Amino acid sequence: MTPVRVLAVASEVYPIVKTGGLADVAGALPIALKAHGVEMRTLMPGYPDVMRLVSGAAELRTWPDYFGGPGRLLAGSHEGLDLFVLDVPHLYARPGNPYVTSEGVDWPDNGVRFAALSRVAADIGHGLVPTFVPDVVHAHDWQAGLAPAYLHYDNRPRPATVMTIHNMAYQGKFAPELIGAIGLPWGAFNVNELEYFGGISFLKAGLQFADRITTVSPTYAREIQSDEGGMGFGGLLRARASVLSGILNGIDISVWNPQDDPHIAYRYGAEDLTFRAANKAVLQQQFNLDSSDEAPLLGVISRLSWQKGLDLLLEAIPTILREGMQLALLGSGDRDLQDRYQAAARANPGRIGVVIGYDEILAHLLQAGSDALIVPSRFEPCGLTQLCALRYGAVPIVSRVGGLEDTIVDVGEADASGRDATGFKFAPVTAEALAGSLRKANTAFHDKPTWRRLQRNGLATDVSWRGRAGEYAALYRDLMTSRA
């Protein structure tokens, strides 16, 4: 196996900084790739949490003026991850969420902040760090989208480039004036290069110039080539269809392991699910729900945004109540949704429990104690919580979109590849269809052998990164061969 060196570029990496699934992927993939002969190092911004956690940081390079202030490039590591950290205090030394202020609005200089990250990625691509000259630069989402663009405009021999789309909805749009400030040529401001509806888009830059484009499920790879699913990039992606593919995400099965999970009340293995009931009892207490083993407990762990379709679940609450089910929701995001869920909990004590916030530990308990996990997304590039649910014996109830379509096998269908049923899928993505699926799940829940079978099939599903990392390794190798 030829060894391959890959520089990954990501704006969040679990367990250091996380706002969503991107961090999970960026944190797990490098470790899984080791078995495939890929040496991956990850470049990320030096936010305060990064500066605090990264150990053994060695200074590789300093700049007196990097995009308006002093900057340094460090190499360090954390929990098995090899990192390059771009420490530029005037851009990244800000507490809290990496993208928005404490009022929840985008930092006004996000364009410069993430251009700076991509600029150094391109320079590492050109050999800035002689001990690690990458064969491939792998950019994740819009925050890293300029890396392939800088490498293109630098017009020098360069490593191969891969752009991975985790979510088309975040496009990194900025005013055209930024072009000069971030050192890109003014000539790039046209629709075949960076221009996007009168401004520029970092995501477009990546999609335009990367040698390969991937996204996180085969179904999403198809959906984004349509005008609706492409959210403005359908045409571009149709034109680049020959270099676009979908590779499903996995989860880190050592972090998500019910046999050995420090965050759940009672640990259990796939062969004996009796302790799930004890976790359910603890969960009911924590969410102020009536203690009852007989009431099916539906769980949700999610960002509260339009994408996730949780307004539809609010509309389905009458069905949940009528069917004698309970709901435990952990989430944060849109103010309006937060308020409406809290109101629903107040109106239905003992039946609807809501925790607003971001709580990694509670997320594990929810997986271990819920009977079913609901993901009613309008679109979902891959989705990770349904994969965790399979691993914990919670039965997923999901909409039939993106990665949810690819990872869950519906009770009513024999999967073409011969996979056994693992959950419930509904379409179209409406409150009525969701309610229909909740009713079906309730019937199945009360038929114990059927429910056990669904749980067992889920627990037997491989949700790990093993095979999926192999697909990335094959992609990198293929790129190297085709460019040689």
Match 């009892």 to its residue by tokens: 281
d(CA 125, CA 135): 8
Amino acid at 212: R
Q: Does 167 bind ligand GLC (CB under 6 A)?
A: yes
Q: Does 369 bind ligand GLC (CB under 6 A)?
A: no
Shortest gap between Cβ of 331 and ligand ADP (angstroms)?
5
Tokens of 164: 């991975």
Shortest gap between Cβ of 32 and ligand ADP (angstroms)?
16
Q: How many CB atoms lie within 10 A of CB 306?
A: 14
* Residues in touch with ligand ADP (CB under 6 A): 20-21, 24, 301-303, 330-332, 358-360, 363, 382-385
* Contact partner, 330, from ligand GLC, ligand ADP, none, Cβ < 5-8 Å per class: ligand ADP
Binding-site member from 166, 280, 364, 477 for ligand GLC (CB under 6 A):
166
d(CA 201, CA 216): 21
Match 């509309």 to its residue by tokens: 315
Would you say the C-alpha torsion 327, 330, 334, 339 has a positive or negative sign?
Answer: positive
Of 164 and 422, which CB lies nearer to ligand GLC in the complex structure? Answer: 164
Of 193 and 252, which CB lies nearer to ligand ADP in the complex structure? Answer: 252
d(CA 386, CA 21): 12
Q: Does 373 bind ligand GLC (CB under 6 A)?
A: no
- Residue 416: is it exposed, middle or buried by C-beta count within 10 angstroms (0-12/13-18/19+)? exposed
Shortest gap between Cβ of 403 and ligand GLC (angstroms)?
6
Of 160 and 337, which CB lies nearer to ligand ADP in the complex structure? Answer: 337
Of 284 and 367, which CB lies nearer to ligand ADP in the complex structure? Answer: 367
Of 334 and 359, which CB lies nearer to ligand ADP in the complex structure? Answer: 359
Binding-site member from 250, 296, 381, 458 for ligand GLC (CB under 6 A):
381
Shortest gap between Cβ of 189 and ligand GLC (angstroms)?
29
d(CA 309, CA 299): 14
Of 33 and 384, which CB lies nearer to ligand ADP in the complex structure? Answer: 384
Report helix angle 466-483 to 21-33, nearest 10.
70
- Residue 52: is it exposed, middle or buried by C-beta count within 10 angstroms (0-12/13-18/19+)? exposed
d(CA 31, CA 150): 27
Shortest gap between Cβ of 22 and ligand ADP (angstroms)?
6
**Best CA proximity match to 30, nearest among 57, 10, 46:** 10
Provide the mask over 238-257, with x wherever binding to ligand GLC is found by CB under 6 A and - wherever it is not: -----------x--------
Binding-site member from 22, 137, 373, 375 for ligand GLC (CB under 6 A):
22
Where do runs of H (alpha helix) occur along 198-259? Answer: 202-209, 218-223, 234-239
Q: Does 384 bind ligand GLC (CB under 6 A)?
A: yes
Where do runs of H (alpha helix) occur along 287-334? Answer: 310-315, 317-322
Shortest gap between Cβ of 158 and ligand ADP (angstroms)?
30
Q: Which residues contribute to the site for ligand GLC (CB under 6 A)?
A: 20-22, 25, 166-167, 216, 249, 380-384, 403
